[in-house]
Every structure is written in structure tokens, then in C-alpha cells.
Amino acid sequence: MFKSITIVILTMIIERPNEVKGIKEIKKWVLIYGRRKTGKSFIVQNFIHYDDYFFVKKDRSILSNSNSISHETFLELLKRDLAAGSTVVVDEFHRLGEDFFDFLHQTKKSGKLILVSSTLFLSKKLFSSKSALLGFFAEFPIGLISLEDVLSALRRTGMEKKSLLETAILLREPIAIDYFDEKYSPREAFAKILLGSVKTIPALVGEIFMEEERTISAVYEGILRAIANGNVISGEISSHLFARGLLKKDDPSTIQQYLNNLVAFGIIRKLKVYGKDRFVYKHTSPLARLFYYADEKYNISERTLTEIEIRRIIDELMPRLIEDNVREFAAARFGLEETIAEAEDHEVDACLLRFKKPKIAMEIKWKDRIGQDDIVKAERNLERVPAEEKLLFVPDKEKVGYPTSLKVVDISDIISLKR
């Protein structure tokens, strides 16, 4: 077997060793979950040892080695394999319904059972406090490809630094790989993906909630739209939903479980605001954020857009995508806690903590020309944070022509850090 998962991009390979290693190290039954098209099935099928693999279709029929089998035959084979100590995969298990939970509860807990799901509703029930199966399964979420893994592959291409980072952010989304062509700039590639996936992108998230009631699903989508629209605090999100008739009252406490579910399923991220008792929420997927932002601002799902319009939207949002991805990546590379810092008169893009104290504060300026005004503003903002080290992150530090008291860094500096 391979030691790491790989996804081929033309002549390049993206390795995902951490996910494979993590799944292999789990000895008990395991639930692998996450949004559609993040590579869950591909990982299991190609890089995890199993003795039998069952795939449950939408009509609840079951495939085994590409052959359709009856529900009764499936249960008999599963029971037999587990009793023999085999490793068995059931992909999209949630389509079997809650009767399957009862079956598992009565089955001897031997062998290794790997369940794969892209739906929140039944997956959540599996781990509820009332579940008879609570404690039998280990949870293993599969999210987007990490920025580190994509950069490891792309830096062998010799791309200039700005294109390198923008392309890496794009390719964190596995479906982008099918559209990627090295002859296009990253923003051209983003535009082509969005134009070709206006219906696909929301469906990737929407299927997670397909088993929920329609009104509940509308709240989830409303939250995603609110965050993309810049309403990133629970109170702002609640007000946004109330104004659209999705909540009966404007009360942040009524949406907390929805937010928790979205975080647990890897759809959004929750970030602490340094020095304050509150959090902000961010989209995990650059493509999902781009879609919902563009649809909220420009109604792209209801009309035909030109590539020029899409490019304008991407240019508008790209600095914020860079900001979120660089902050996350830097926190991981430095081994620090990721937060942001903000006040009424200023914001700091990244405030990275060690033992709750600011270790690194960073301003991120993503533009072709970094002017003196940009540097002065960054210096002024960073003065407000008592961090040991203050950084200015730019597309290419060699192109910054003005002196500054800040340490100027670019993506090459963070990549080169020893873990």
C-alpha cells in the first residue's frame, strides 16, 4: 500500500499523508465524515486496507464490487465479515436509515467497521448522548486539502510567489483540480470554476442537510450567506436571519447549535477575538465563500454572468481569502493559536497566541504595489497589539520599496519554517 494519498494535477502530485495515517492508526470502529467532494471515498478506496466495500445508492440499493445486492444479503455479509475480524467499509451509510443503527447495536463489536457519510443529520445522531452506539465509533473528519500539502506540490512548478499562493488556495478544493490548467492564471481558473459550478458549489454543502426539515436547512444556508456577506459574529448572523424571516426572534442563542454543527462538520471555522469574550465565523471553503458572497452581492445564481464580471468579483474578494488562509497556515506552521484582534478603530489580520499571550501579530497586504500609506497603516495597527514579533505579509517581499520597522515576509518564509 502507498504511504500517503496523492491527487494528480497534470504532472504534479498533492500528497495527503496526515489523513491516511490518522485513519490507519484508529483501531476501533470509525466514522469518516465531511462535505461532498473532499476525498473521503477516494482516500478509503485507494489507501486504506479493507476486506469488503459496500456503497449505498440514493435509492438505498447496495453495490458490492460493482454488483447490486439486496439489503438482506448486505446485512448478512456485513455480520459475517465483522465476526471474522475483517475490515468493512459502508459508504454513504446514512441512506440506510436509523434501522441500520439498531442492526449495528445488536452486532458483535469485532472487526473494523468504517462508515463514510456526507450528511450531518444521521451522523450527528450516531454520536448523540441518547445513541446506543455512543462510544463504539471514533470520529474522523475529512476536510479540504491542507494549504501546506498543496504548496508542497506546487512549489516544484517554479510559479512566482503571488500565483503560487493564489493557486494553492484554489486547489485546496478537490473539485477545482478537474478545472485546473497551468496555462490559466489563478484568478482565471477561479472564474472558470465558478462559471461552471454555479449549481454544483451550493449543492456540495446543501446535501449535508438534505435529511433535515426544510425550514432547518434554510437556516443553515442562511447562516452561510450571512457569513459570506460579512456578518461574522453570532449576533450579526442572528439579525441577518431574523430580517429574512428565518428566525422567529432575533436571539443569537437560537442559532448556536446550528453554528456548532457547521463547525463540527468543517463547513465553517470559529475564531476567537483576542482579548474579547466573543468569536467570529469564517467559511472553510474558498469556493463556497466566493459563491455565497457573489450570490448575495450580485445574484449570480439567477442570471448569466460574464467572465469579466466574475473576475471583478474575484479581485474584490481575493485579499480576504488570502488573509484567512495565511492566518490559518501561519498558526499551524508556528504552532500557535489562531485569533484575530480588533477594536472600534482598527483590526489586526492575525494575532497568534502562545499560552494565551500574543506571540506574533501580522498584517496581510495583498496587492501588487505596497505603498508607504499601506506600511504606515500596518505599523499603526500592529502597535496596538503587545506581540513579541510583528510581521507584514506581502505577495513578494523583494518588491516592497519602502522602509519599515516591521519584519516583511512572504509565502516562501512561512513555507521554509522547520516544523
Q: What is the pLDDT of residues 118-176, one digit of tens each?
A: 876 666 666 665 666 767 888 899 999 999 999 988 877 788 999 999 999 999 988 88
Whether 243 is covered by a domain: the verdict is no
pLDDT over 50 at 5, yes or no: no
Strands 12-15 and 6-9: antiparallel
pLDDT over 70 at 408, yes or no: yes
Angstrom distance (rounded) from CA 94 to CA 97? 6
Predicted confidence (pLDDT) per residue in 346-390, tens digit: 789 999 999 999 999 999 999 989 999 999 999 999 999 999 999
Return all residues near 259 (Cβ < 8 A) that are at least 6 apart: 223, 234, 237, 268, 270, 281
Mean pLDDT score across all residues of the chain: 87
Confidence of residue 418 (pLDDT cuts 50, 70, 90): low
Q: By residue range, what is the domain housing residue 125? A: 6-141
Which of 14, 31, 13, 11 has its CA nearest to residue 22?
A: 31
Total number of domains in the chain: 1
- What cell was used for 148? 501546506
- What cell was used for 417? 519554517
Note the pLDDT of residue 2: 37
Angstrom distance (rounded) from CA 359 to CA 330? 12
Note the pLDDT of residue 194: 83
Whether 108 is covered by a domain: the verdict is yes
Whether 247 is covered by a domain: the verdict is no
- What cell was used for 149? 500539502
- What cell was used for 179? 478545472
9 forms beta bridges with 12
Whether 15 is covered by a domain: the verdict is yes
Note the pLDDT of residue 1: 38
Q: How many residues does the chain have?
A: 419
Task: Report the pLDDT averaged over residues 230-251.
Answer: 96
Whether 211 is covered by a domain: the verdict is no
Whether 64 is covered by a domain: the verdict is yes
Task: Report the pLDDT averaged over residues 396-405.
Answer: 91
Kindly state the helix (H) or strand (E) to which residue 289 belongs, with its residue range.
helix 286-298
Angstrom distance (rounded) from CA 213 to CA 260? 18
Q: At what angle do helices 147-154 and 161-170 cross, to 10 degrees?
A: 130
Q: What is the CATH number of the domain that holds 72?
A: 3.40.50.300
